[in-house]
Structure 1
Amino acid sequence: MNETIFKDFPELRVVDTREIGSDRKIKSYVLRTAGLKKREARAIETYWPRYGLSFKEEMLDYSVLFGNDNPVVIEIGFGNGAATAHIAKLRSEYNYIGLEVFLTGIAKLLNAIGKEGLDNIRIMRFDAVEVLKHMIADASVAGFHIFFPDPWPKKRHVKRRLIQKPFAELLARKLIKGGYIYCVTDWQEYADQ
C-alpha cells in the first residue's frame, strides 16, 4: 500500500499510530474503529492519490488544485458521499471539497468519483474547523453544504454540535460576497438554535 496514505489513514496500518494526549479539543464527531471491507480499502488505495488532500497549515490554491478558476463549494460531513458525487456530476461548473472523518464514507465517495472520472472534487479527512482555519482563505468559498450534522441530542453532548455561533461566524468569514450556507437537519431543537 502507498506509504503516503498512512498519514491520512493511520487505521490502515497494522499498528495503531493515533496520538494519545491530554490536551484534546472537543470535536463534533467521535471516531470508532471499524474494519474496512476489501473493496473499500482498494478504493482508498486506488483513488486517494488522485482525489485526496492531506492537511497542511497553508492556504489552498484552488486554481492549482483543480486546474481552473471555477467557484468552490465545501461539503462538511458528506456521509456515504452519494449526494456529493451526484451534485458534483450535475454541477460541473463548480469545484467541490468534501470533508469527512469516517473511512467508509470516504471509500464510497472515492469509488463513485473514481469510476465516474470526476475532476471537480477533492476529499480531505480532517476536522473541518481546523481545515477552515488553516487551509481556506477568507472570502474564497462560494458555498457550504452541511447535510444532517449529528444533533448530539443529549444535554451533556450539546457542546459537541458542529453548528454553533463560533463555527457559523467562521463559515461566514470564508464566504465570498453572495455566498451561501446550505444546512439541513431533521432535529427541530438543533434547527431552532
Structure 2
Amino acid sequence: MVFQPRPNHPYADAPRFPDGDDVSIDDLLPGTGPVEIEIGPGRGGFLFERAAASPASRLLGLEIRLKWSAIVDERLRKGGLGGRVRALNADAREALGRLRPDASIARFFLHFPDPWWKKRHEKRLVMGPALLDSLARLLVDGGELFVQTDVEERAALYAEQIGAHPAFEP
C-alpha cells in the first residue's frame, strides 16, 4: 500500500517514484552519463556533494520520508541540478525491484542504514537478501556498492550478507 497524503498536505505534490511494473531509469533521469543511486539521502548532503564531485553522473536519491524527499528535490531544482539529480519518495526495497533496465546503475550508496535495534523493527531493515538481489541485477559489470555505518554489529552483519551473495566480491 502506498501512502497518499491528503490534497491539502504540505507535501502533497512531492515527487514520488512512479507506479507500474517496469520503471525506466532513463525516464526518471533523462540524458547520458553513468547513473548512481543513494538509498536514503535524508537531508541530501551527500547528493549535493556527489553532484559537485561527479558532474557527468546522473544521481537519484530514494528517500522513504516524504518530507525530506520533497525538500531535497526542491533544493536540487532551485540549485539548477534538477535535470540530472533527483530525490524521490520511495521505499527503495520495493522501488528497485521495479527499476529497469538491468545492468544500468554504476554505483549504489547506503549511508548509515537501519537504525532500528529491536526485534519488532526488523521489518524496517533496508539491507537484506531481496535488496541485494535488486542491487546485483541493476549494477553494471564492475559496478560498486558503498555501505557505511558507525555500528560495529551492523557492519559485521552487512559484510556477512554482502559476502554471502554470489554477485558481490570485496
Query: TM-score, structure 1 length as denominator?
Result: 0.69
Identity %: 32
What is the number of equivalent residue pairs in this alignment?
A: 155
Partner of 2:5: 11
Would the alpha carbon gap of residues 59 and 172 (structure 1) be closer, same or farther in structure 2, given more than 3 Å must change? same
Q: Secondary structure at the match of 2:24?
A: coil
Show the counterpart of 2:154: 190
Within 5 Å, give how 1:33-52 maps onto structure 2: 36=10, 41=11, 45=13
1:84 corresponds in structure 2 to 47
**CA–CA separation in structure 1 for the residues paired with 2:105 and 2:39:** 13
- 1:166 and 2:130 correspond: yes
1:123 to 82, 87, 93: 87
Give me the whole-angstrom Cα distance separating, in 1, the residues matched to 2:70 and 2:152.
31
Cα deviation 1:155-176 (Å, max 9, x = unaligned): 3333432112332232112110
Query: Alpha carbons of 1:155 and 1:99: their partners in 2 closer, same or farther (altered >3 Å)?
Result: same
**With structure 2 as the length reference, what TM-score do the two structures score?**
0.77
Note if contact 2:110-2:148 (Cα within 8 Å) is conserved in structure 1: yes
Assess, with a 3 A threshold, how the Cα gap between structure 1 residues 123 and 57 changes in structure 2: closer, same or farther: farther
Deviation of 1:130 after TM superposition, in Å, equals 1.9
User: Does residue 68 of structure 1 match 2:51?
Assistant: no
Q: Tell me what 2:160 maps to.
A: none
Cα distance per residue 1:144-189 (max 9 Å; x no partner) = 0111112321133334321123322321121101100111111211
Instruction: Work out the CA distance in 1 between the residues paired with 2:151 and 2:19.
Output: 31
Corresponding letter in the other structure for 1:127: D
The answer to whether 1:152 aligns with 2:116 is: yes
Deviation at 1:57, TM superposition (A): 1.7
The C-alpha deviation readout for 1:87-127, integer Å capped at 9, x for no partner, is: 12331111011111212211321232122111211232122
Q: Which residue of 1 aligns with 2:56?
A: 93
Residues 56-75 of structure 1 deviation map (CA, whole Å, 9 limit, x = unaligned)? 2223052x544422111111
Higher-Rg structure is 1
Letter paired with 2:43: N
Q: Is the 8 A contact 1:148 1:183 kept in 2?
A: yes
Q: Distance in 1 between matches of 2:103 and 2:76?
A: 27
Q: Which residue pairs with 1:181 in the alignment?
A: 145
Deviation >4 Å, runs of 4+: none
Match of 2:76 in 1: 113
Indicate conservation of the 8 Å contact 1:85/1:109, yes or no.
no
For residues 57 and 103 of structure 1, the distance between their equivalents in structure 2, rounded to whole angstroms, comes to 22
Tell me: CA distance 1:106–1:67, structure 2 relative to 1, closer, same or farther (3 Å): closer
Structure 1 pair 165–52 and aligned structure 2 pair: CA distance change class (3 A): closer
